[in-house]
Amino acid sequence: MNKTRWGRCIYESASGYQVYQNWLYRWLKFNSTAIQTLQYRRNPWKPGLHYLPMLTLTMRYFPGDGTLLGLGGGGIPWLLSKAAPQKNITAIEISAEVIKIAQTYFGTSELKNLTVIEANAADFVQEHPEQCSHILVDLYNAHHFPPECCTEVFFQNCSRLISSRGVLTVNLANISEQKPILELIKNYCRQVLLIPIKRSVNLVLIAGNFANHELFYNQLLQTKEIKKISWVQDWGFVGSY
C-alpha cells in the first residue's frame, strides 16, 4: 500500500500491537502485516481503509445511535464524527491496550459523542438489555474473526438486539470465513445484503429484520451510494456502489 510507504514504528505495546506513521498517515497493526486502522493525520475523519464507507453507510443515513463492536484505532468513530456528528457511538473493545493506543495515538479521547466500554463483544450482546438502532461489527484481529463471535449464539444475539427498523453491519476480511459467517447471519436476519469492497478482499454485510423486504432494499438504494442490487446464486442479494 503506497499510503504506508516509508513508515516507521513509533510505539509497540506489550502484546506486540504496533503504531506506525509517515508524513501523511498513522496506522495500527496487530502482530501481522495487516493494517487495522489507517488514519490521515491532517484530517482523521477521512476514511483510510476502503471498507469504512460501506460499513458506516446505514448509520450515516438511517436514524439512531450506534453500537460498535471492535474499536481498533477509532477509524469508524472518527468518520462518523464528521458524517453524523449528532449521533452517539458506544464502542465495545476487549483490549485495554487497544483502548489506550486509540486514545493516545489516534485521538479518540477528543470525540465527544464516543463512549468506550472495555468488554468482550460476545458477552456484551448476550447481556445487553436494550435494543440498538445500529450494530457495527468490526472484530477481526490479525488473522481471523474471534472464535467466540463466529457462532450462532453471537449472531442470534445481534439479531435480537437490532430493532425492527435497526441494522446490523459486519466487516468480513478473511476470505475463508466470509461464506460461513454470511450463512450464520442469514439464519437470524430477514434481509441480508452483501457488498464486495472495491480494491480489497473485504466484504461488508448489511442485515435487518424489517417487516417489509422491499422497504429495506429500497432504503439502501435511496442513499444513492448503493447503485444496484442483484441476486447472485449461492450468495443472495449483492450490492454494488
Q: Is residue 136 part of a domain?
A: yes
Q: Is residue 230 part of a domain?
A: yes
Domain span at residue 230 reads 45-240
Looking at residue 170, its pLDDT comes to: 98
Residue 43 has which C-alpha cell? 484530517
CA 170 to CA 194: how far, in whole Å? 10
Indicate which CATH number applies to the domain containing 222: 3.40.50.150
Looking at residue 2, its pLDDT comes to: 85
Residue 222 has which C-alpha cell? 435511496
Q: Is residue 166 part of a domain?
A: yes
Looking at residue 140, its pLDDT comes to: 84
CA 98 to CA 163: how far, in whole Å? 30
Looking at residue 31, its pLDDT comes to: 84
DSSP element (H, E) containing 160: helix 152-161
Q: Is residue 35 part of a domain?
A: no
pTM of the model: 0.96
Q: Is residue 4 part of a domain?
A: no
Q: Is residue 27 part of a domain?
A: no
Q: Is residue 232 part of a domain?
A: yes
DSSP element (H, E) containing 220: helix 213-222
Residue 3 has which C-alpha cell? 499510503
Number of domains in the chain: 1
Q: Is residue 174 part of a domain?
A: yes
Looking at residue 143, its pLDDT comes to: 77
Q: Tens-of-pLDDT digits for all 241 residues of the chain?
A: 689 999 999 999 999 999 999 999 999 999 888 899 999 999 999 999 999 999 999 999 999 999 999 999 999 999 999 999 999 999 999 999 999 999 999 999 999 999 999 999 999 999 999 999 999 999 987 678 999 999 999 999 999 999 898 999 999 998 999 999 999 999 999 999 999 999 999 999 999 999 999 999 999 999 999 999 999 999 999 999 9
Answer yes or no: are the C-beta atoms of 241 and 227 closer than 8 Å: yes
> Can you spell out the DSSP letters for 105-144?
HS-GGG-TTEEEEES-HHHHHHH--S-EEEEEE----SSS
